[in-house]
Structure 1
Amino acid sequence: MQPEISILNNGLRIVSLKYPQFETVSLGIWVNTGSAYERENMNGISHFLEHMVFKGTAGRSAAAISEDIENVGGQTNAYTSREFTAFYAKMLKDDLELAVDVLCELVTSPQFAEDELVKEREVVVQEIKQTYDDPGDIVFDYMQAEAFAGQAMGRPILGTAGLVRSFGAGELRAYMKTNYAAENMVFCAVGNVDHGQLVKMVETRLSGLQAKTSFAADRQHYTGGYFAEKRDTEQAQVILGFDGFSYADERYYAAMLMSTVLGGGMSSRLFQEVREKRGLVYSIYSFPTFYTGAGFTGIAAATDNEQVNKMLPVMIDEIKKIAAAPVGEAELKRAKAQVKSAILMSLESSSAVSEKLARQLLLFNRSIPIEETIAKIEEVGVEDVRAAAETIFASKPTYALVGNVDGHYRYDEICRLLKA
């Protein structure tokens, strides 16, 4: 079954995939904007806007937005990432038009009332403080800031308390006018949905959107760097990272499979060597992050402060091994099975499928058949994995640490271990 795609006169793409056996529909509006598309003095406005649109529209109060959805048993939410903002819902099929109406109001007629602005600024500031108070969360912000130093991609999605408190209705409206254009958006629905009816519903409500965005994003590039913050914690949170690949890079699947072999699951090299054999960590895993024009490959670990200097050489040794020699055929077969099964299992979730389709339209302007994805995974050979690892781990490292930093390896020492 293939998705159906329609394009309105203003360039808005509408995509749907019908599952006639479902009683529900997962739907949403995805916007190709986020913290990586913000100027420095506007850092955090994408996320703050995501909050504020739920605080009242031309047709509904803040209470009515949630009540109208929940009165019929539906669910709605939103998120902001570095490159995407999404507003989504899951409803019974008979309540589709209600959800379409609410979602379209969120992106066309938010009111930004002053009393709501005052309250929501402090809500977001509390969210910022909560992130800072969690070493396992904040270490990722520190990592990102060093990996993409001095760039929008390196700044926190939530922004800073000072900037959030400076945002008013004028800034929010200007940001929407610049970024919330039809060519920059996708409306997606997956479940028991008729495509023709969906198009009519959306066209009635979103045909008046301006067609083109006036924002030109800066090119993002990996830099690498070091950040350590001393905290009185029992465990240290550690991330060692390197350059990566973009979504469109032909080495995308090789990098994903390499990361899976290295640190994806309990059978991975890092988990077996660092935790199971040596007992040096509680958790350790690798993660590839792909962006439109850049990427990042990281290894995250949580361990006793006293164990960090024992763990790092072992971690680095595994990095060197995977870059120096092809992985075993059995390892690659297992990694392919892990990646393929995760993709195929996600197809059983209408919410996950709608997310996937919307992102594909925004990134590649087409939906990618699952058969094409599986074929690309199967094409990857052991030498492709080694070559991807060699390229990635030859880059300048990023090292972020939150914990008792006294006596831990300095950045120059980590660089020396990697080159030894």
Structure 2
Amino acid sequence: MSKKYTLDNGLVIVGEEIEHVNSVSCGIWIDAGSRYEDEYTNGMSHFIEHMLFKGTKNRTAKKIAEEIDNLGGHINAFTSKETTCYYVKMIDEHIESGIDILADMILNPLFLDEDISKERTVILEEINMYEDSPEDLAHDMLFEMIYKNQGIGRNILGTRSSLQKIKRENMMEFFYKYYVPNNCVISICGNFDFDNIVKLIEEKFKGWNNKKDKNIDINNCNFNLGVITRNKDIEQMNLCMGLEGIGLESEHIYALSIANNIFGSSMSSRLFQNIREEQGTVYSIYSYLTLNKGLGTFNISSSMSEKNIYKVYNSIINEIKLIKENSLTKEEIKRSKEQLKGNYILGLESTSSRMMSMGKSQILLNKVNNPKDILNKINNVTDDEIDYIIKSIFDKDKIAISVVGKNSENLSF
């Protein structure tokens, strides 16, 4: 069972004590990501994530790495569309050191000009790496088209142009706007005492002042249709398709997840069985949900040879048509519920995954769901609700498309 405590400065702490393990995972979540950026600050959240590892007033970048390594721990971070998270995983007896390092990174970063210049080059190389991954590129292109000129559609890494414009002064402005305690959550899971950890965190972050006039809003986004392509001299075509979905807070998430399991998210799904196993026209094909505050997309990704792209595309369209016309059978729904519950439970088998689940839920939804409540919600999804969400989402005439591959500019859908 999770516990929650809010410090006087507005910093929320959520935790789950698990006595039978010997580790603790702790993450600091900031409500900041590419959704909050414009064309001039695009890539800022991710850039700042990199900079916090470049040294503090108390530790060099090497010292941060050495302290964690010498204790047998692990430290890392990631930036998403809506959040940034810095996290450690340690043997339980060393968690105080891990929290001290995280607090130092958040409260005392240096942001030296020479480090900013070096890390800009590192991120440019990161962009090159992702552009060499056609599947990732197709997904990013799809989002950039669907949410054109909107923060949620901008690439988390930024662009080569936007990165060149980021200077220390506007980086600091962004940092002090979003890195405030009442815009953050600390999530912790493992073998620890919650009351003692609250006291420790309160001591480590006592100098972190909140922003009383915090007013960080996100706007509603428009979903745009269209086709976007990128020529790349590679052996396969990478096709990504998107339909307008539902937001993270929607009551229909579990109904759509059940439908997604049957449609394309597993090896027993319709997409995999019909298009890969029976037709043999693809190696990779699957569907997945992208869930954000107030909006989402239902995505389909596949890769195939150039000669098969129209056959695969038409087969996907046919599967969309069939599921909308016929929905799911009772047996399919029953199997999908069990699969969804199993995946959820297995996903909570480590302290890291539980910490991630709690932190993400608290920072985005302002609550932590009890695992038993989640399982009950899955069980209680009705056939009528599944019919409703399928008819709402699966529309073959309202699909956005991106393609990466050789001669892709000649395609017509």
Q: What is the TM-score when the length of structure 1 is the normalising length?
A: 0.94
Would the aligned equivalents of 2:38 and 2:150 in 1 still touch at CA under 8 Å?
no
The aligned residue for residue 402 of structure 1 is: 404
Q: CA deviation at 1:261?
A: 0.7
Once the two structures are superposed, the pairs formed by residues 68-107 of structure 1 within 5 Å of their partners are 68-107=67-106
Counterpart check, 1:392 vs 2:367: no
The aligned residue for residue 272 of structure 2 is: 271
The aligned residue for residue 417 of structure 1 is: none
> Cα deviation per residue 1:130-187 (whole Å; 9 max; x = unaligned)?
1112212211110111121220111100001222232222122111111112121111
- Please give the alpha-carbon distance, in whole angstroms, between the structure 1 residues aligned to 2:340 and 2:129: 33
Quick one: structure 1 residues 281 and 83, their matched pair in 2 at CA, closer, same or farther if it must change by over 3 Å?
Answer: same
Q: CA deviation at 1:363?
A: 2.4
> Cα deviation per residue 1:299-330 (whole Å; 9 max; x = unaligned)?
10010111001111111110011111220112
Three-state SS of the structure 1 residue aligned to 2:78 is strand
Three-state SS of the structure 2 residue aligned to 1:55 is coil
- Please give the alpha-carbon distance, in whole angstroms, between the structure 2 residues aligned to 1:406 and 1:109: 48
Would the aligned equivalents of 1:143 and 1:399 in 2 still touch at CA under 8 Å?
yes
> Cα deviation per residue 1:393-416 (whole Å; 9 max; x = unaligned)?
237311000012458652xx4xxx
> Cα deviation per residue 1:103-141 (whole Å; 9 max; x = unaligned)?
111111110112211111100000011111221221111
Would the aligned equivalents of 2:254 and 2:378 in 1 still touch at CA under 8 Å?
yes
Would the aligned equivalents of 1:326 and 1:383 in 2 still touch at CA under 8 Å?
no
Quick one: structure 1 residues 277 and 407, their matched pair in 2 at CA, closer, same or farther if it must change by over 3 Å?
Answer: farther
Three-state SS of the structure 2 residue aligned to 1:321 is helix
Bigger mean CA deviation after superposition, 361-370 or 277-286: 361-370
- Please give the alpha-carbon distance, in whole angstroms, between the structure 1 residues aligned to 2:150 and 2:335: 37
Once the two structures are superposed, the pairs formed by residues 229-378 of structure 1 within 5 Å of their partners are 229-378=230-379
Quick one: structure 1 residues 407 and 90, their matched pair in 2 at CA, closer, same or farther if it must change by over 3 Å?
Answer: closer
The aligned residue for residue 37 of structure 2 is: 38
- Please give the alpha-carbon distance, in whole angstroms, between the structure 1 residues aligned to 2:311 and 2:76: 43
Would the aligned equivalents of 1:13 and 1:183 in 2 still touch at CA under 8 Å?
yes
Counterpart check, 1:24 vs 2:5: no
Q: What is the TM-score when the length of structure 2 is the normalising length?
A: 0.96
The aligned residue for residue 120 of structure 1 is: 119
**1:398 partner letter:** A
- Please give the alpha-carbon distance, in whole angstroms, between the structure 2 residues aligned to 1:293 and 1:198: 33
**1:67 partner letter:** E
Would the aligned equivalents of 2:238 and 2:405 in 1 still touch at CA under 8 Å?
yes
Bigger mean CA deviation after superposition, 168-177 or 90-99: 168-177
- Please give the alpha-carbon distance, in whole angstroms, between the structure 1 residues aligned to 2:200 and 2:221: 37
| % identical equivalent positions | 33
Q: Which runs of 5+ in 1 are unaligned?
A: 414-420
**1:273 partner letter:** N
Bigger mean CA deviation after superposition, 82-91 or 218-227: 218-227
Quick one: structure 1 residues 285 and 408, their matched pair in 2 at CA, closer, same or farther if it must change by over 3 Å?
Answer: farther
Bigger mean CA deviation after superposition, 189-198 or 78-87: 189-198
Bigger mean CA deviation after superposition, 320-329 or 200-209: 200-209
Quick one: structure 1 residues 221 and 375, their matched pair in 2 at CA, closer, same or farther if it must change by over 3 Å?
Answer: farther
Would the aligned equivalents of 1:227 and 1:401 in 2 still touch at CA under 8 Å?
yes
- Please give the alpha-carbon distance, in whole angstroms, between the structure 1 residues aligned to 2:243 and 2:255: 15
- Please give the alpha-carbon distance, in whole angstroms, between the structure 2 residues aligned to 1:136 and 1:367: 33
Q: Which runs of 5+ in 2 are unaligned?
A: none
Would the aligned equivalents of 1:324 and 1:386 in 2 still touch at CA under 8 Å?
no
The aligned residue for residue 418 of structure 1 is: none
Bigger mean CA deviation after superposition, 84-93 or 128-137: 128-137
- Please give the alpha-carbon distance, in whole angstroms, between the structure 2 residues aligned to 1:84 and 1:16: 19
Would the aligned equivalents of 1:259 and 1:287 in 2 still touch at CA under 8 Å?
yes
CA-based RMSD of the aligned residues comes to: 1.4
Three-state SS of the structure 1 residue aligned to 2:40 is helix
Aligned length: 410
**1:403 partner letter:** G
**2:399 partner letter:** P
The aligned residue for residue 144 of structure 1 is: 143
Bigger mean CA deviation after superposition, 119-128 or 180-189: 180-189
**2:60 partner letter:** S
- Please give the alpha-carbon distance, in whole angstroms, between the structure 2 residues aligned to 1:364 and 1:157: 21
Q: CA deviation at 1:13?
A: 0.5
Q: CA deviation at 1:263?
A: 0.2
Once the two structures are superposed, the pairs formed by residues 61-72 of structure 1 within 5 Å of their partners are 61-72=60-71
> Cα deviation per residue 1:357-405 (whole Å; 9 max; x = unaligned)?
1112112322211111111111223332232122112373110000124
**2:15 partner letter:** S
Three-state SS of the structure 2 residue aligned to 1:110 is coil
Q: CA deviation at 1:293?
A: 1.1
- Please give the alpha-carbon distance, in whole angstroms, between the structure 2 residues aligned to 1:353 and 1:257: 22
**1:110 partner letter:** P
Three-state SS of the structure 2 residue aligned to 1:54 is coil
- Please give the alpha-carbon distance, in whole angstroms, between the structure 2 residues aligned to 1:204 and 1:190: 19
- Please give the alpha-carbon distance, in whole angstroms, between the structure 2 residues aligned to 1:217 and 1:58: 33
The aligned residue for residue 165 of structure 1 is: 164
- Please give the alpha-carbon distance, in whole angstroms, between the structure 2 residues aligned to 1:220 and 1:75: 37
- Please give the alpha-carbon distance, in whole angstroms, between the structure 1 residues aligned to 2:88 and 2:374: 27
Quick one: structure 1 residues 214 and 174, their matched pair in 2 at CA, closer, same or farther if it must change by over 3 Å?
Answer: farther
Three-state SS of the structure 2 residue aligned to 1:56 is coil
